[in-house]
Amino acid sequence: MKKLTGNIAAKSAAIVLSTIVFGLICFLCVAVVFGGMAGMYTDSKEKVLKNALSERLYSGAHEIIQDFATDRKLDDYSNTNYLYIITYKSGEVVALNTAKIDEEYSESMNFSLTTYGGYDFGDAEYLQKYYGNMYTIKVAADMEFKNSDSLWLINKVVNVAYSMRYAAIFIIMLCIVLLVFLLIFLFCSAGYQGKSTEPQLNYFDKIPLDIFTLFFAVIALFELYCMVEVVSVDFVEIALLGVFLVIDFPLVLWYFLSLATRIKVGSPFKNTVVYKMVSFFVKITGKAIKKIIWLARKIPVIYKTVVITAIVSFAEFFVIVTFARDTDVMVIFWIIEKMIIIPLIYYVVIMFKRLKTASEKISQGNFDYNVYNSDMLYDFKSFALSLNNISLGMQSAVEQRVKSERFKTELITNVSHDIKTPLTSIINYVDLIKKENPKDPKIKEYIGVLERQSVRLKKLIEDLIEASKASTGNINLNMQECQLDVLLAQAIGEYSEKFESKQLTVVIEKPDTPINVIADGRYLWRVFDNLLNNVYKYALSNTRVYVSIHTQNNEAIVVIKNISENQLNVSGDELLERFVRGDASRNTEGNGLGLSIAQSLIGLQNGKIDISVDGDLFKVSVTLVQVTENS
């Protein structure tokens, strides 16, 4: 089937064959319907033949009467299957071509001739009243059907149709199955050309769908006009309807195959003139509305107020002049009202503008700005004083906060430096005592404790100094392009032995293509070192650690997830604060500075760290600026 979907010859053959099958179905359906109306499924063949011959014999009788009434010779009926006998009202036979007529397959009727000898096809009641029935004609069919005429044809058609009455239904069912199969093949292959693996639009499929639909609608309206207005003969209408059905089927099939191709390729309704016009109108209207809004925002509030009050005043004046009974009085009241209301509105707007300007200045950090309020009314003046007080309060709070942060940073830095000097001496003397190789086991134990605690204290002091530098930005960064996935893989490799000791399995998900970011490789390594060390300290043993890298909106995002060994009773934001640890019992090593240092270092590299805690699930997201082709 796949090999045939792009084969033009196969699709053309399927279209031709489906058209033939459809025409056969229509023909057989009409035959079955007319056969049912003729009684082929309820009556005997003889009765069906009798009914069919009866209608033709009735018409033949009229033809014989016409020939007889116009003094024609009736010899033309000698070589036909029509048998007739014409008698006068007295019983005298005036014309015949047979001596005996089979009464079962016959028709008889009375008719009159006018005095001038012509046959009158006029009102039967008129003839009966003034002339009476002068003649009687009896017409029958020669059941041997020796001659080829309309009666012979009726006999043949009835015999064939009666013998095929049930086979026709079976053939219709087979044709419907074949037609469905062909249509499925055509719709599946719609849009495929040659060896193409994806559907493609051809020349006709690129025509806008509404224009394409209009073309077929015009054809349908033309056919309907021909059926209703032009043709008046019944059998011609039936024949024309059959021709139209056979012609319309491939046209309709073409239309729906094109529609199927458009649906496969994409949204079919976008390729329409109406959609393009509406889209253009919406686009232009949207731009116009945005432009109007932009202009309205740019226009000062005073000018907006002037325009709005002018429009409202004009509308009121128009209504008064148009609909008011006492126009002069209403205009006077309108003028008085505007003289009072408009100055008040402008005053309120000016005060609002002044307060709005003050709030914008304060929100931008200009805490020295004060609102001039000596000419304001009470409520506006109270609001202006509140803004001035807010400005002073915020200025004082900011100064206190800056001073506090500076003092805290200086204190940490100075104390750390002051502690570092004696601590270095302690570490050196512990090392000297170890070299003396004391024999007492208790002294060795004491020396081991001193060494561990001094090293831990040294690490704490170093972290304090680094946290202080990172928070104040007192670090020289060398920002350049780094390969994020390689750097992270190396950092994970450094912790492989530690992770194995706690039976932690690292699952890494990263794209096949390299991801480059703008960062300082040294400090980015320190960030990953802190995060992975945090995982090693606090992750539950014999669990998985998920590390993933992905990109979004020109940003590279590293996500590290693990299950915490201890219950986490703090939020992600609190964990980023200094000296805050997830281990509330403080049974594990750590000083609560690792995440805070990582956050400060990432912030200096134009990135950010987000931490979320969901039950025992600990998740860290590191976002950095990605290097793109346009960067």
Per-residue pLDDT reduced to its tens digit, 461-508: 666 666 666 665 556 767 888 888 888 888 888 888 888 888 999 998
Give the class (CATH, top level) of 372-474. Answer: mainly alpha
CA 33 to chain centre: 45
Angstrom distance (rounded) from CA 465 to CA 14: 82
What value, to the nearest 5°, has the Cα angle with vertex 583 and ends 498 and 546?
A: 45
Residue 432: how many CB atoms within 10 A of its CB?
9
CATH architecture of 476-625: 2-Layer Sandwich (3.30)
With a cut of 70, which residues of the chain have pLDDT below it? 1-6, 70-76, 113-133, 227-242, 295-301, 367, 391, 395, 398, 402-421, 423, 456, 459-475, 477, 569-594, 628-631
Domain ranges of the chain: 1-189, 299-361, 372-474, 476-625
Residue 30: how many CB atoms within 10 A of its CB?
14
Contact 105, 55 (CB under 8 A): no
Angstrom distance (rounded) from CA 575 to CA 179: 70
Q: Exposed, middle or buried by CB within 10 Å (0-12, 13-18, 19+), for 201? A: middle
Distances (CA, A) of 396 to 118, 355, 401, 403, 545: 128, 21, 9, 10, 47
Q: pLDDT digits over 183-221, tens only?
A: 888 888 887 777 777 777 777 778 887 888 888 888 888
Angstrom distance (rounded) from CA 293 to CA 299: 10
Contact 548, 437 (CB under 8 A): no
Would you state the pLDDT for residue 177? 93
108: three-class secondary structure by DSSP: strand
Amino acid at the residue 218: V
> Which residues is 141 bridged to in the sheet?
82
Angstrom distance (rounded) from CA 142 to CA 525: 112
Contact 506, 547 (CB under 8 A): yes
Angstrom distance (rounded) from CA 392 to CA 386: 10
